[in-house]
Amino acid sequence: MLADTDADGLSDPSEVLTYHTYPFLADSDFDGVGDYEEVFAGADGFITDPNNWDTDFDGLPDGYECNHAASSPPLDPVLPEDGAADFDDDGNPNAHEYWNGSDPWSRDPTGGAGCFFWGEGDGDGIVGPGDIGVLIQRMKGAAVSYAALVPGNGETQEMDMDLIPGPGDLSILIRMMKDEDMPTLASRPVALERVEPATGATVELMAGDTCQVAVGVRNEAGLYSPGFGVTFAIDAANSTGAGELLGGDGGAAGARYDVSGPIGGGGRAAIFVRADTPGIIVVTTALPGCGAVPNQGRYCPSLAGPTFVFSVSPNLYSR
């Protein structure tokens, strides 16, 4: 009887010589589907590539698609149109929702690049009476829903950074609505900080790998601001390899943007970069400016963030 080190149903010689999979890993491509099931169409009924986590190259892992083959609408690991589809019609395609951690079958708030959700309470992207009303109700102890915002915890209206919804926040929102001068504003962003990968050195990847890229939105108070759409882009002029950005809340001018998260989470905005071909991939980050007159009303300066560099080598184990 031939050895089967990883007990996946495929003999060690067949894994090495025929399928080019790892004989010591039951799931060589870490996609959630075992090697045997990928080669011989297991319980899910699909024949997929055991050496590629995304057989149809649609941005969705095979295991995730197999697990949702009975959903409505369904996913299919060998149907490349699934990733670009937008099942919930919220403007964020299925593949980006998966990497964003949101639900492809349920509409989610997506906002926009820059200060879209800053000061927001009603989700229309404009600071106005509706936002004032929401904050007043919350200050009175009423149950207020922030479901139309990212993040949905009400911190988008934390303007003075005392971490309490109160008169200080209300005063700032009113002044912002009136376009008054505010030379200092605690929640106004001043810098984008590198979060992940934490090191500034070049990150080594193999073709087919993914890696998360994350920054934090630091503000004038030295804390972090939620509700800002940070943009991520592949710098084609300085990249010799090809890749794709996955995740975030939406697309903007050839880039992806992700809305920064909770204060306590470091105002984190993140996407994933998928390395497609060998070479160097350079990813830049930025925060688009908001407002025409410095320090007046809802003004936020344009900020250039850290640059991330990836060195991609060939994947010697792919077929």
Other C-beta atoms closer than 10 Å to the C-beta of 148 total: 16
Q: Indicate the range of 13-27, 125-139, 169-183, 273-287 predicted with least confidence.
A: 13-27
Which one has a higher pLDDT value, 280 or 25?
280
Q: What was the pLDDT predicted at 319?
A: 46
d(CA 148, CA 318): 43
Average pLDDT on 120-146 reads: 95
d(CA 128, CA 36): 58
What kind of fold does domain 189-313 have according to CATH?
Immunoglobulin-like (2.60.40)
Q: What was the pLDDT predicted at 224?
A: 98
| Whether pLDDT at 41 is above 80 | no
- Residue 99: φ, ψ to 5°: -70, -20
Q: What was the pLDDT predicted at 316?
A: 65
H or E element that contains 73:
none
Per-residue pLDDT reduced to its tens digit, 242-272: 999 999 999 977 799 999 999 999 999 999 9
Sequence spans of domains, the chain: 1-85, 189-313
267 in Cβ contact with 218 (< 8 Å): yes
Per-residue pLDDT reduced to its tens digit, 174-220: 999 999 999 999 999 999 999 999 988 899 999 999 999 999 999 99
pLDDT band at 18 (very low <50, low <70, confident <90, very high): confident
Average pLDDT on 30-38 reads: 85
pTM tops 0.85, yes or no: yes
Q: What was the pLDDT predicted at 291?
A: 94
Q: What was the pLDDT predicted at 95?
A: 97
Per-residue pLDDT reduced to its tens digit, 143-174: 999 999 999 999 999 999 999 999 999 999 99
Other C-beta atoms closer than 10 Å to the C-beta of 85 total: 16
Q: What was the pLDDT predicted at 43?
A: 64
